Structures are given as structure tokens and as C-alpha cells.
Structure 1
Amino acid sequence: MLKNWTINTFLFVCCLYSATGQNEGGAPEIFHGMSPKDNLQPDPNQVCGMSNPNGLVAPEKVPKDYSAPGQFPWVVALFSQGKFFGGGSLIAPEVVLTAASIVVGKTDTEIVVRAGEWNTGYRSEFLPSEDRPVARVVQHREFAYASGANNIALLFLATPFELKSHIRTICLPSQGKSFDQKRCLVAGWGKVAFDAENYSNIQKKIELPMITRAQCQDQLRNTRLGVSFDLHASLICAGGEKDTGDCIGDGGSALFCPMDADPLRYEQAGIVNWGIGCREETVPAVYTNVEMFRDWIYQHMAQNSNSVPFAGQLPSNMSDTRN
């Protein structure tokens, strides 16, 4: 009897793990400690990277270069003293991934994270946005402002967001994942052009081609950076198409790509880092390579929050915290 009970229990656990699944890259998803439903079908709000492709509200008209309300529910806006200053992505209910460059010089108590936002100029939206204060900021200790190397930071919130249809998390890529030759997206509230006077009120949607590091370095050497410019190993590139690209104010926002197996789900390839001008042909923008920092992210999440990868499967070198 005991033997049969043990076998049945083992089979149930295996089925449970299979039903909840893993993300495209084989890395465990973050289920935030939520138990699957009795029918083993996870709540879609608990599944990372799940988009709302047509949005959740149908406004009168959304231009093609803007997202629909609730379309990318992991996109967050960052505010300091009531003013918007950059973007980020929700990677756990109480953890935001952003760029170190935009939080340098800001104290924890200065920063407010807003999730579920679409129009920053109108607070009474059908899908209400929610604000959370930041309890702790963790910046990479080897961040170099001049080159953009290791430009990554985590914001740990004082209280977590409740995940729902317009507030969800983005998946992190597996270690070593390459996004070369894919078309990916940035969503945020930065300027629509370099000489624009104000940030965009409506969340922009920018589609960009990923390019190889070698191609990126060659193209950037044709700019004022000069022929001796070397692209740091922690950076990747996208863009270079005429009249499209991220701009001032998009710093910290996610560069995210559709999963091969499910194009309605996304994983974060990069963090908006720096660029030369905005929306210029053959001049790609530069992003922090998220897959390179996945272990660093998990290490600090384990130390500072209650969110861990599904089934507790942390990277094997969790004890090696490299800041």
C-alpha cells in the first residue's frame, strides 16, 4: 500500500510540473508561489509574458505607433517627485527591472512605480493604474556610465502588485539565448523624436529589428564614436531603421521579443540603454543584454523578495553574488 501511494504521488507531481510548464528557453517561469488550479490550468495572469494582443479597451483610435490599453501589461512607468523619468518592466509582483543609469542619484523613497498605465495624462482610465513606493534599489556595482556597461538595476517594491489582466510580469530569457535577426518591441513614454519638447502621454509601441553585435559595432563606428569604438560585452543592439526607434525618456524600458512557440507571449531581451540621436537610419540603439544578467537578477531576488523561479530551481551558482 505504501509503495503504491509513493508511486501515485510521484506521478502526480510529475504531471503537475508538466502542466505548469516552463518558458520558451527552458528556464523555469516565475509563478510567484501561486498554486495551480485543481484542473492544472494556470491562471493566465500568473503566466509570465502573456500579452493582450488587441488590448483590453477599444479607444476611438490608436495610431499604429502606439500600444493599445493593456496590450503589454508588464510595462511600468517610473516617477520621481511626481514627474515621469523613465520606464521599467515587472518581472515579479514586487520586483521591477530597469537601467541603473536612470536611477543614479535617486534615493529609494523618491521613486514611485506605476503599473497598468497607458495614458500618463489621464488618471481616470477604464483600466486603473496602480502606484507602489520603492523599498530598495539595487544597482550593478560595475555599471559604467560612459560606456553603458552593466547598466542594470532592480527596484524592490514596498508592497507587491496584484497580478491581473492589465498588470502582469515579463519572462526572463534563458542563459545564452540569442535574439539575432528577430523583430522585437519597446513600449514606453519617451519622446517621439529627438527634438520633441515633451514626453509622450500615450504609451508608444516601437518595433525594431535585432542586429548582430558585429554589425552594430561597425555601424556605430561610422558615427561620431569613431573607428576605434568597441561595444562592451554586456550590450546588444536593435534598430537602425529610418523614423523608428526609442528615444529620450525610454531609458530603462524593456526590449521584448515574441516566443517562438507562442507569439502571444514575450521574453525580455534587453533594457533600453543609450543611443546616438533618435530614429536614424543605420544607427542602431544599444541595450543591456538581459540574458547575461539572469543569474545576477535571481541572486538578488532570492535575497530581497519572496519571488523565486518555479519549483525553487535557482541557478546553481546562487551563492556567487556578482554586483
Structure 2
Amino acid sequence: MRWEVLVIFICSVELVNSQNNDGSISRRRTTTEDPVLMFFRETTTTTTSAPVVTTTTEEPLDDDYSPPSCGVKQAQRDIYADDTNNADRGEFPWNVGVFTISKGFLGDDQHIFHCGGTVIDEFVILTAASCVRGINEKLTIMAGFWNLADEQEKRQIRAVKKLIIHPKFVPTSKINDIALLLLDDKLDFAPRVNRVCLPDHTVDFRESNCFVTGWGAIPAENSTEHIRPKMKLVRQYLVAHEQCEKQIKRSVLTFQLSNVFQCATGVALCEFDVGSPLMCTVPGRENQFYQVGVFSYIPGTCNLGIGPNVFTKVSVFRKWIDRNLEENQRSIYVYVPESEDSEENETQNE
């Protein structure tokens, strides 16, 4: 069993998206200086941080554990009737947090939360390029956790060995905002750690129910924090490409929405939701999910948006993901839902 003492710093840098006249997106940083504790990043941005000392342990391994198919929700509660905005602990086991590590004044590791991501393979995390591009510090991911502030919660921590950012990512427009993180050691699949399913272009989500999970703040909760400790679960509704573009054009006349994006409306997402999944039920299966999108940006700000939430559309990049996994000797079938026939045969053989 491995023990690790972490100091988690939640940055209070506010990243504000603004739309330019040419339709591109600019992100500017605003910071609040608090005399309690100050850190100076290599970007020369002053950030205020509130430390929370968290003792974490590796989730106990079960050699006999056989993970279910990809995208299977663990809790069996009625998520459509719950209005608390909280996911249950371990309910969506593919969610991860992406962190950087810096050394503290006493030489201890300080884990700084940056964005969300998802498990698609025991060695691979899917996230947004805009989250990890240009970061010079060591990257790590945490899987299997639910509450950032829980001092006793078990989680799996892995270092990122290789960063694969889409070669045509455009920071100003967020086109091709997608990245893969290859881990230095495999994740151990367990009830709270599993992979999500990835769709191709043939899947029809018109009858699916869609949600976003992550740790970004919810504007309606009127919190002064940019990150909520417990993983949220918020309903989203897919928006057609033309409708989304038309809505944003009301404020930015020259705006053009690339076909690599998927829009969704519902609870507005914020800067620390970047990289988090837009997930929709597998057609005909209420408790199994495809990851339809990777959150990229919201036009305007999360408190004053001028359009729907904008996600990188995963199906557009499915071949790019497949190719990179094959080049790194990983299977491309682990994020494909098992057919109903294979599930029936497996049940009969038990």
C-alpha cells in the first residue's frame, strides 16, 4: 500500500474567455491578491492559494476484480430526479483531475488542480489541449476520487510520461482542442476507476440523455470559489451546429463555428471544467455512457455567457485517438461498448 501526503492548492486565477471581432477567442487572466499565501508562477501571474493538506492512499487492489464494459455508471440512483448537482462517490469512475506538482517551502509536494480528464485506457487519459499546452511543471493525474477536500479518500495517482497534443490545435479559436496523456504506470481498474466509451460518427444521440461531470464551480451556487470540492453532475442538452452558431452570432456577428465542435446548453460551465466530459447515454442503455465531447470554452464568461457550452466533438477525432493508441501499443477496443449479444453470452456462462 502506498501513502502520499499532498498539499492541494486550488488556484484562484480567473480565466475569462472573450470573443474578438474576427470570431477568435482570447483568454485573459485576472487575479486576486490575498496576503495569506502567495505563489509566483513562471508566467509571472500572481496567484492566491488556500492550502488543504490531504492524506491519500491507493485504492486497495482486488486481484479478482473484473471491470464492467466501458462507460458503465456505478450507482443505480435516479440521476434524472436529483437536483443537488452532486455526483455520487464513484458513480462516474472515468473522471480524473489533472494536476501539476511544485515543491513547497518545506520540500513537500504541492498538487495544483488544473482541469478535468477521462480514463479511456488504463494507461491513457483524454483531456483538452488548452489545459496542458505550455505547462512546464510535472503533470500528474488523480483517479478514483470524488471530494477534493476529503482527507481520507482513497485515490490512484499517476505521473504523466508523455503528452500528445493535437498537432493542429489553434489556441486562439480552440479548434482541435484535444490531447492525450500517457501515464508512467497503469491505473488499476476498480469499482471507482474504469474507462469511458468513445463514439464514432455513426452514433445517433438524439434520444440520449446528456450530462457533464467535473469540479468547476457552478455559477448559480453563488460561491466565491472557482472549484467545488465535490464532483458535480449537471444536465446538458445537445444543440445543433447551426443553432449554436446563430446564437453566438447575435453577440459576435463574424463568428463561425467549426465542425469540430459540439454545443450543449444547460448549466454554464467554467474555466476549471476544461477537459471534463460531455457524456450521453449509449442508445438503448440508461446506465452506460459515451463521451461525446471534451469541454473547451464558453463564449463570454461562465457568469455571463453569450452562447451554449462548447465542446471538442470526440467522434471527429476518433481516428486520431485510435491511431495514437495503436502507435503506443494500446488496444482501441477497450472504449467500445460490448454488444448485447456478448453480454448475454457472458451472463449465461457464469
Alignment gaps of 5+ in structure 1? 1-36, 56-61, 313-323
Contact 2:226 2:272 in 1 (8 A): no
Contact 1:118 1:202 in 2 (8 A): yes
Q: After superposition, what is the alpha-carbon deviation per residue over 1:6-50, rounded to whole angstroms, capped at 9, x for unaligned?
A: xxxxxxxxxxxxxxxxxxxxxxxxxxxxxxx9xxxx94x241001
Normalized per residue, the structure richer in strand is: 2
Alignment gaps of 5+ in structure 2? 1-63, 102-110, 337-350
Partner of 1:166: 192
SS of alignment partner, residue 200 of structure 1:
strand
Distance in 1 (alpha carbons) for counterparts of 2:159 and 2:178: 19
Q: After superposition, what is the alpha-carbon deviation per residue over 1:297-320, rounded to whole angstroms, capped at 9, x for unaligned?
A: 01001112433326x9xxxxxxxx
* CA root-mean-square deviation: 2.4
Distance in 1 (alpha carbons) for counterparts of 2:293 and 2:278: 5
Equivalent residue in structure 2 for 1:98, among 127, 152, 167: 127
Q: After superposition, what is the alpha-carbon deviation per residue over 1:99-120, rounded to whole angstroms, capped at 9, x for unaligned?
A: 000001124x611110011001
1:259 to 2:282 alignment:
yes
Q: After superposition, what is the alpha-carbon deviation per residue over 1:279-306, rounded to whole angstroms, capped at 9, x for unaligned?
A: 6687201000000000100100111243
1:300 to 2:299 alignment:
no
Point out 4+ residue stretches in structure 1 off by more than 4 angstroms: 279-282
Partner of 1:272: 295
Contact 1:123 1:129 in 2 (8 A): no
Query: Structure 2: which amino acid aligns with 1:265?
Result: Q
Normalized per residue, the structure richer in helix is: 1
Q: CA deviation at 1:274?
A: 0.5
> How much identity, in percent, do the aligned residues show?
29
Q: After superposition, what is the alpha-carbon deviation per residue over 1:77-120, rounded to whole angstroms, capped at 9, x for unaligned?
A: 1111211010000000110000000001124x611110011001
Counterparts of 1:58-97 in structure 2, within 5 Å, are 64-81=84-101, 82-97=111-126
Q: CA deviation at 1:177?
A: 3.0
Distance in 2 (alpha carbons) for counterparts of 1:284 and 1:181: 20
Distance in 1 (alpha carbons) for counterparts of 2:181 and 2:330: 14
Give the alignment's TM-score, normalised by structure 2.
0.68
Distance in 1 (alpha carbons) for counterparts of 2:155 and 2:143: 6
SS of alignment partner, residue 189 of structure 1:
strand
Distance in 2 (alpha carbons) for counterparts of 1:266 and 1:281: 27
Equivalent residue in structure 1 for 2:169, among 115, 127, 143: 143
Query: Structure 1: which amino acid aligns with 2:228?
Result: S
Distance in 2 (alpha carbons) for counterparts of 1:207 and 1:201: 19
Query: Structure 1: which amino acid aligns with 2:140?
Result: V
Contact 1:257 1:268 in 2 (8 A): yes
1:229 to 2:255 alignment:
yes
Distance in 2 (alpha carbons) for counterparts of 1:180 and 1:211: 10
Contact 1:206 1:245 in 2 (8 A): no
Give the alignment's TM-score, normalised by structure 1.
0.74
Query: Structure 1: which amino acid aligns with 2:72?
Result: M
Contact 1:93 1:161 in 2 (8 A): yes
Q: After superposition, what is the alpha-carbon deviation per residue over 1:247-297, rounded to whole angstroms, capped at 9, x for unaligned?
A: 120000111001122110000100000002226687201000000000100
1:289 to 2:322 alignment:
no
Classify 1:66/1:218 alpha carbon distance in 2 versus 1 (closer, same or farther; 3 Å): same
Q: After superposition, what is the alpha-carbon deviation per residue over 1:156-183, rounded to whole angstroms, capped at 9, x for unaligned?
A: 0001111111101000002343435743
Distance in 2 (alpha carbons) for counterparts of 1:271 and 1:131: 22
